Amino acid sequence: MNAPEPTVIHSRRKKADMASVIGAAILGGGLGALAAQYVNLSSSAVALVVVGIVMHAWGMLERRRLDAAAPRIWWVEALYWACWLAILVIIGGIAFVRE
């Protein structure tokens, strides 16, 4: 099986980066909407957070998959896992407040 051309790999990395950034932006907007409401969660705010989490997570996973052969840098790894921890905390916070 032939390996994809470097331009195809570059394009896929850029798409993964863009999905991650857009997801993080949507997540931030959703968190802002939640903070504006403080405890009273509106359905649109929760939907924004969920969409943001899904897009950001997909982007992170895709970028990590595409960069699998690259050497690991400790602070990049720390940020990657800190981001997953933050996502879990956000999901837990939504579940806790919704109850």
Q: Above 60 in pLDDT, residue 41?
A: no
pTM above 0.85, yes or no: no
- In the chain, domain spans: 6-98
Confidence category of residue 1, pLDDT binned at 50, 70, 90: low
- Quick: pLDDT tens for 62-73: 888 888 888 888
The predicted model gives 13-39 an average pLDDT of 80
SS3 annotation, 31-53: HHHHHHHCCCCCHHHHHHHHHHH
